[in-house]
Amino acid sequence: MAEETEAFRYARHLLLEGWDQEALRNSSVMVVGVGALGCEIAKNLALAGVGTMHLVDMDIIEMSNLSRQLLFRESDTGRYKAAVAAEWIANANPDVEVIPHEGKFQDLPIEVYEDLDLILGGLDSFEARFQLNELAWRLGKVYIDSAATGFKGNVQVIVPPGVENVAERTACLKCFYPIPPADGAAAAACTVPGHARTRDHCIIKGEEAFIKAHGKREEYSVEDLEIIAGLAHDASVDSPHTDEWTFTAPEVENLLMNKLPSVITVNAVVASLQSHEALKVLHRIKGRDIGPPMDPTYIEYSSQYGILTPVEIEIDPACQSCSRTAGDELPLASWTLGGLLDAIDGMGVPAEKALITRTSDGAVVSNFGKGDVEADLAGVGVRSGDGLRISYKVDGERTSIEVTVKEGEG
């Protein structure tokens, strides 16, 4: 695009203190999940002028998406979300190079991730969010997670160690949810013996009758859902506990397919908070500054009360996704006491609260971060390949981990 046209397109941005349009043009992001959140995120970042955008989604567009997902039209139903969203973006801002991926993010080759500056999640399953959290952490990429269900939503900024200029490493998604809530499964979790007592029971009885007559299905077609709605009606007629109720195919689908309640306004608020965090992080990664990432790194939105609540999340030193555990190697770029303390900080252990000893004989290497940080580790008797025990307190309890130190890229 000609420079003058670009100057006009982004003219209002140029009035913002610290804004750097070129930093955004040179940025590359991935949006995983192009649903109610992902459509908003992709729209925001594309119009803001982020240069390269990968869109990942395995789903096709359904009628029930159209109340919230502005990149899709009724005529798009049956097509892949990633492809249609990419067309919308290409039309809305031709400056953006947009690359759709019609499949799972877990199946993408690792090279796709290499050039990314950050990853944004707009996923509706905890399982997938945890996988993306861990993948991004291992690749050393900033991951901005979000979720919205019903009248509530939340955003979390997750920064792994070693991302320059952005922030100290933060807690990850799993630090906050060590035991994740089960995904959906409201219907799958319960069977209903005897007569139905509620609308949900009737639908579950309807499904049981459908499976008896037609066999089990992975996905229900609209025709299947209508048959189940009729069988749910029969279940209500058969039950002494219920009135004679009628059911619709969408109601049946919501329950049986574990659909979550969702409204565009809540999704838009959450996705806007998330998108703006992305703009700040991208500026910082490119050495510019329009503000630091939010701190605390997690914020919750309650639309019923119109309240945003920041939530402090502690790094969990025993987190399965982001912490090193006993037996891990700890490569040190700088072979000094300071380098060692930095690496330990990077593991989520506050070095000034840790006692570090040599595993072989218990000799003290550092006592609560004290000592000359410039001192060569060899001077305090530590050689590459030595084991160190790092002990420290969590919630008043003393705990310890062991690592092997190695010379290398820290």
What does the binding site for Zn ion look like in residue numbers (CB under 5 A)?
172, 174-175, 319, 321-322
Measured between alpha carbons, how far is residue 367 from residues 341, 362, 383, 392, 399 in Å?
11, 12, 18, 11, 15
Shortest Cβ distance from residue 192 to Zn ion (Å)?
Answer: 39
Q: Which is nearer to Zn ion, 175 or 228 (CB)?
A: 175
Least distance (Å) between residue 316 CB and Zn ion: 5
Residue 1 beta carbon to Zn ion: minimum distance, rounded to whole angstroms: 41
* Shortest Å distance, C-beta 328 to Zn ion: 15
- Shortest separation between residue 134's beta carbon and Zn ion, angstroms: 9
- Please state the separation of Cα 354 from the chain's center in Å: 31
**Closest separation between CB of residue 249 and Zn ion, Å?**
41
- Output 181 or 215, the one with its CB closest to Zn ion: 181
**Which residues fall within 8 angstroms of residue 322, CB to CB, at 6 or more apart?**
134, 137, 160, 171, 172, 174, 175, 315, 316, 348
Name which of 169 and 201 has its Cβ closer to Zn ion.
169
With CB atoms as reference, the residue minimizing the distance to Zn ion is: 319
Cβ closest to Zn ion, residue 324 vs residue 389 = 324
Spatial separation of the C-alpha atoms in residues 319 and 315, rounded to whole Å: 8
Cβ-based neighbours of 401, under 8 Å, separated by 6 or more:
317, 324, 325, 326, 347, 349, 389, 390
CB closer to Zn ion, 173 vs 203? 173
- The β-bridge relationship of strands 97-101 and 118-121 is unpaired
Give the span between the Cα atoms of 279 and 263, in whole angstroms: 24
CA distance 351 to 345: 6
How is the chain split among helix, strand and coil, in percent rounded to 5? 35, 20, 45
Closer Cβ to Zn ion, 174 or 389, answer by number: 174
